[in-house]
Amino acid sequence: MSHSAFLQLDPRQYGLADAHADDVALLNRVLGETLCEQGLDNLRVAARHLLTARGAASAALGRDPDDTHGLLRAYTLFFQLLNTAEQVQIVRANREQRATADADSVRDTVQGAVLELRRRGLSAADMQSLLDRSDICPVLTAHPTEARRRAVLDKLHAVARLLAARSRECHWPDPDAPLSRQAPGEEDLRRTLTALWQTEEVRHAALTVDDEVRNALYFFEHTILRVVPWLHEDMRSALRDAWPDEEFDIPPFLRYRSWVGGDRDGNPNVTPEVTWRTAIAHRETMLRLYEEQVAVVRRDLSVSARVAPPSRSLLRSLEEDRAAIGPVPLPPSAPAEPYVAKLSYIAARLQAAREHLEEVRALGPRSESWPSHGTGYVHGADFEADLRLVERSLSAGNGQRLARGGALADLIVQVRTFGLHLAALDVRQHSGEHELAVEELLAAAGALPARRRYRELKESDRVRVLTREILSPRPLAPAEWSAAPRGCAVIDAVRTVRAIHRSMSPRAVTHYVVSMTHRLSHVLEALLLAREAGLARWADTEAGGRRLESDIDIVPLIETIEDLRNADALLAAMFANRAYRAQLDARGRAQEVMLGYSDSSKDGGYLAANWSLHDTQARIAATCRRQRVDLRVFHGRGGTVGRGGGRSNRAIASQPPGAFDGAIRFTEQGEVIAFRYGLPAIAHLHLEQIVSASLLAAAPARRRREEPVWQQTMADLASASRSAYRSLVYEDPDFWSFYTQATPIAHISRLPIASRPVFRPDRGIVGLNDLRAIPWVFAWVQSRYVLPGWFGIGSGLAACIEADSDGLERLRAMYRRWPFFQMVVDNAQLELLRAHMPTAALYAARVRPTELGERFHALIEHEYDLTCALVLKVTEQKSLVAPEQVVRRFADLRNPVVAPLNRMQVALMDRWDREGSVAAPGDPWHGALLLSIAGIAAAMQSTG
């Protein structure tokens, strides 16, 4: 161990792979040297002192907040570097596995999945059918779970590239670099770490929604747009290997959507103008990137007409371009290089589309008329048609390799996947806001019973009024009418969607999500608002009747345990309603249903929520089959296990039989986005696992059964678990006092990491019901209880084992043979491993009165010990996550090093409470406390 290292830490003692251990040792040493160069060797000494627990954290705080701030920053940076080394090791291990394994034995890959399907007996026609119905849709969200600044992430990605280059994990040397820079060295690493140290970790001001949009666009531009063509090439190669004599059409099986800039639920900062700007930013980014890619393709296709004559169709298109567009800048070689000429006209059409977008931007969303698109592309299909023309002409002239690979093929995949809109933007709003807006609309139109308010009506009367008004072609609002501010914001948001459709593209916003959908009227309210804005409208048919035309899908979001139980009844009521049946027919008899993992877990605990969600999927799938409706489940998963996180591929594989036919959506949130999409190789690995799991889960195969006795056992487990959870969290009147003192929730609410408030608008820290699910989990992670990811499991397992002499053996059989139960238990093991009761006891000791903290800590610790013991019995393991030794080693390395951060955070919270401080901007002690939150988030690789 180098004397100059930041911490006296030998990574090899934890059993890390050699290359990984070398990376950690290098980063530890260079960080220590960087601190010395900055004149901060005292921080290194203090960090080592805290690590060996030779001094109390309160003493380490001293009297100078700047020293405390520096020590916290050093620890935080160390963990960020540790996480980066872990990312590089994941890529390294994955590549080593592929290099040493047989092609047909590599797991979780597109190639492995396709070959497995061939072994199952799928024909080429079966495979084409599977591809045609595959629609995998990750959705980026802006939930407040990313505690790091964009500038910090950029530099950490640079560290990853340097580590990868050292172990030949990326393309090196760079042919454009001078010879003196052909190999990455420690000097590059020192330079990057110096920049990291001199970059502020915590933002001084909260993110705006526009900031969040730019952050999301960063991942699209730098990672996602590059990785999607990579996956298509994987698919082409796998299909060629499995069916060498067949031709396949590979559709865009992977598409993206975004909530960033459209998610209005509880975020007053997402105004209609913000949604409008977001749609423009998406289209503008996509057009700019296409122009850059077209320039690359144009350089590639310097094909001479004398050597390889183009097709007549291509030549004819050039004549049409000249007539429609007029002269464009062409290189001198263009007359002899028809593809260069064609791509120059394509570039001109893209430029015209950007100019049209500037006119649209200037008019704003309230415009009544929109400029003509002129010669610019209107839809991605028009752009694709031109590229396909080039592809066919090249193929006809013996240029198949140029047509079906390289930059042109990648561009075609991008256009088919992202269109001109990049990622469809979802708009989400809370059902309560719709009630207010609809009440104003109906009152203004005189559509309510005399002297009655809409919210006073029974559900049956609400449904009757809403159905009547949706079926009526007349507008509700008088031309001169204006709603109150809250209602106006709801109505203007829907009208803005209509403006985006008319001025840009209907593909730019396709789904409207209704949060907290409790009943049929909540769905009909959204449909009525869509009809009022012109997103849904009645049209005459040739037969003399009327049909509904609709430009948007209405998506109910089912979140609470009670609503999950009633979800199939809700769908049945929707499908039976005349007005909603018209909407269903207008949208191709397809229905998307979003399931909320975060709020259901907060409501009923981890085990009860997971079973409710699984059971709900089976029931709503059966309802849709009976009504001949195509179902797509939208999984609202969070980043942590307590909010539905975990490995997405295992979640896909564990869905109930009949609930998945190839179409799926799921959220990607917060720091999960930075981890999964920060490096292209990690993004490729993540997406390949999802695609392979989706193919295998959706393919025709032997029907997998879920034993009825297992289902009943799960229901019993969930019930006992939920009782234990709610007795602690909701039924004990002193719990809220314990929670607010034993976690840093009060300070998390002031951490400037997102535009969305931690609490519901106009509410403070008054109770659990007002607290969002994300900070609920965030605070438990900080205090090392990690309670939302495991609490109640032990009670559930104990009840099952005690109630039946065969209970333990049945649970073991369920774990061995039922993917769903195995996933639930294994995810809980990860959270149990991350929890640390001795550290959590430090937080409980802060609680006043003392006996309150002691009582709750004893309750939680008892459940923790019970859960660990029974999980090991059920899994028949000797230690938690025993099959995942790499995960275990990562945790063993982190645990001793994060303890000093926790001790410092507790000391800072105590100081804050003792001195009665008020969080004022620029307060140095509070800044240190906020930094401790960011540091523990980095150490735990999790916020909420």
Among residues 542, 419, 437, 455, which one has the least CA distance to residue 495? Answer: 437
Tell me, what DSSP letter sits at residue 790? T
- Radius of gyration of the chain, Cα coordinates, nearest whole angstrom: 29
143, 232, 434, 836: which is the annotated catalytic residue? 143
Please tell me the distance from the alpha carbon of residue 129 to that of residue 698, in angstroms, as a whole number.
Answer: 11
Whether 873 sits among the annotated catalytic residues: the reply is no
- The one-letter amino acid code at 454 reads Y
Please tell me the distance from the alpha carbon of residue 467 to that of residue 464, in angstroms, as a whole number.
Answer: 5
CB 712, CB 127: distance < 8 Å: no
Q: Tell the burial category of 921 from Cβ atoms under 10 Å away from its Cβ (0-12, 13-18, 19+).
A: exposed
- The half-sphere exposure of 182 on its side-chain side, counting CA atoms within 13 A, is 5
**How far, rounded to the nearest angstrom, does the alpha carbon of residue 815 sit from its chain's CA centroid?**
28
Residues linked to residue 550 through DSSP beta bridges, in sequence order: 536
Among residues 256, 152, 218, 215, which one has the least CA distance to residue 754? Answer: 215
Strand pairing report for 536-540 and 663-668: unpaired
| Longest CA span, the chain | 90
Could you write out the DSSP letters of every residue in 72-95? HHHHHHHHHHHHHHHHHHHHHHHH
Contacts of residue 755, defined as CB under 8 A and 6 or more positions apart, other chains included, come to 142, 206, 207, 208, 209, 211, 212, 267, 269, 270
Please tell me the distance from the alpha carbon of residue 483 to that of residue 1, in angstroms, as a whole number.
Answer: 69
421, 602, 635, 836: which is the annotated catalytic residue? 602
Tell me, what DSSP letter sits at residue 628? T
- Measured CA angle at 847 (ends 846, 852), to 5 deg: 140
Cis before 849 (ω within 30): yes
Please tell me the distance from the alpha carbon of residue 481 to that of residue 678, in angstroms, as a whole number.
Answer: 48
Please tell me the distance from the alpha carbon of residue 720 to that of residue 608, in angstroms, as a whole number.
Answer: 9
**How far, rounded to the nearest angstrom, does the alpha carbon of residue 610 sit from its chain's CA centroid?**
19
Residue 793 tokens, joined: 């499991």
Length of the chain: 944
Integer distance in angstroms from the first to the last C-alpha of the chain? 35
Residues linked to residue 513 through DSSP beta bridges, in sequence order: 428, 555
Among residues 779, 780, 776, 751, which one has the least CA distance to residue 919? Answer: 751
Please tell me the distance from the alpha carbon of residue 678 to that of residue 687, in angstroms, as a whole number.
Answer: 13
Among residues 37, 38, 30, 32, which one has the least CA distance to residue 185? Answer: 30
Please tell me the distance from the alpha carbon of residue 446 to that of residue 472, in angstroms, as a whole number.
Answer: 14
Please tell me the distance from the alpha carbon of residue 313 to that of residue 122, in angstroms, as a whole number.
Answer: 38
Q: What are phi and psi of 757, to 5 degrees?
A: -65, 150
Q: Tell the burial category of 881 from Cβ atoms under 10 Å away from its Cβ (0-12, 13-18, 19+).
A: middle
Please tell me the distance from the alpha carbon of residue 499 to that of residue 716, in angstroms, as a whole number.
Answer: 50
Residue 775 tokens, joined: 């900070």
Query: Other CB atoms closer than 10 Å to residue 352's CB: what's the count?
Result: 17
Strand pairing report for 135-140 and 663-668: parallel
Strand pairing report for 427-430 and 424-425: unpaired
Whether 458 sits among the annotated catalytic residues: the reply is no
| Helix%, strand%, coil% for the chain, nearest 5 | 65, 5, 30
Please tell me the distance from the alpha carbon of residue 906 to that of residue 99, in angstroms, as a whole number.
Answer: 47
**Residue whose token pair is 């009757």:** 464
Residues labelled as active-site residues? 143, 602
